[in-house]
């Protein structure tokens, strides 16, 4: 098994945190996004979507999408559970992971990719170039604030995103909070429940993964 990885990117990071929580040691294959290696013909043959992370399984299957990778690893290595131990807990973990992806990580990416010169012709992942749209920077910042306000409501009532226990949704949220820092959003400012949660989750050894 191998993980196609890039140290700086938020999606590979939440998979590495998941591996650390599970105490799984999987060899990493670096794909340098700064050098656009994810768009090389060799990598696009592995993942036509041109994204990392990708897990290569022992039978040579390539699995893209962080949620798919982590659910696969959860099946193979159920302990410690990071998707909960009941259908209900699993459903809430998947639900909150999807919310973090589409409302959080995607919104931060909308700001960053429409703002930073490094993404000038590269506003969306993958091989097709899309131009930057300055209006999406403003929209993205509003979406990011809306997302963290929603999270604050949830964490004011629950110790973790999907309920009582740490789950993959929390690892995804930690990646989103730190990713927001790239566009100078301090998500924990003025959000005491999120700040308390962050204090606990960011202290775990897995946060350094």
- Contacts with a second copy by CB under 8 A lie at 48-49, 57, 59, 61, 63-65, 67-69, 71-72, 75-76, 87-88, 90-92, 94-95, 98-99, 102-103, 106, 124, 126, 128, 130, 133, 135-136, 139, 142-143, 146, 150, 153
Of 98 and 186, which has the nearer Cβ to a second copy?
98
| Alpha-helix runs per DSSP H in the chain | 10-22, 41-46, 66-76, 87-99, 106-115, 134-155, 168-181, 192-201
Of 65 and 204, which has the nearer Cβ to a second copy?
65
Length, in residues, of the chain: 209
Of 123 and 202, which has the nearer Cβ to a second copy?
123
Structure tokens at 57: 């399984």
Of 87 and 205, which has the nearer Cβ to a second copy?
87
Give min distance, CB of 50 to a second copy, in A.
11
Nearest to 85 by CA among 23, 162, 13: 162
Give min distance, CB of 93 to a second copy, in A.
8
Do the beta carbons of residue 79 and residue 167 sit within 8 Å? Answer: no
Give min distance, CB of 68 to a second copy, in A.
4
Of 141 and 207, which has the nearer Cβ to a second copy?
141
Give min distance, CB of 80 to a second copy, in A.
17
Count the Cβ atoms, other than its own, within 10 Å of residue 136.
17
Of 158 and 204, which has the nearer Cβ to a second copy?
158
- DSSP letter string over 38-63? GGSHHHHHH-TT--S-EEEPTTS-EE
Residues in contact with 105: Cβ distance below 8 Å, sequence separation at least 6, in sequence order: 10, 11, 172, 175, 176, 179
Give min distance, CB of 92 to a second copy, in A.
7
Compute the CA torsion angle 132, 137, 138, 144 (nearest 10 deg): 140
Give min distance, CB of 139 to a second copy, in A.
6
């Amino acid at each position: 098994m191998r993980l196609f990885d890039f140290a700086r990117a938020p999606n590979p990071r939440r998979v590495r945190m998941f591996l650390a929580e599970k105490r799984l040691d999987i060899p990493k294959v670096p794909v340098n996004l700064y050098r656009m290696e994810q768009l090389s013909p060799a990598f696009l043959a592995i993942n036509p979507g041109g994204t990392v992370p990708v897990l290569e399984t022992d039978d040579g299957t390539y699995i893209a999408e962080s949620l798919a990778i982590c659910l696969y690893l959860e099946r193979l290595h159920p302990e410690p559970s990071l998707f909960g131990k009941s259908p209900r807990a699993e459903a809430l973990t998947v639900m909150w992971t999807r919310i973090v992806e589409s409302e959080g990580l995607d919104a931060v990416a909308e700001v960053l990719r429409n703002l930073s010169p490094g993404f000038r012709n590269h506003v969306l992942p993958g091989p097709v170039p899309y131009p930057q749209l300055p209006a999406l920077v403003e929209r993205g910042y509003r979406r990011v604030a809306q997302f963290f306000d929603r999270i604050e409501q949830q964490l004011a009532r629950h110790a973790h995103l999907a309920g009582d226990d740490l789950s993959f949704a929390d690892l995804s949220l930690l990646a989103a909070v730190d990713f927001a820092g790239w566009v100078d959003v301090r998500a924990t400012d003025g959000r005491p429940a999120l700040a308390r949660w962050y204090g606990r989750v960011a202290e775990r050894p897995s946060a350094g993964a």
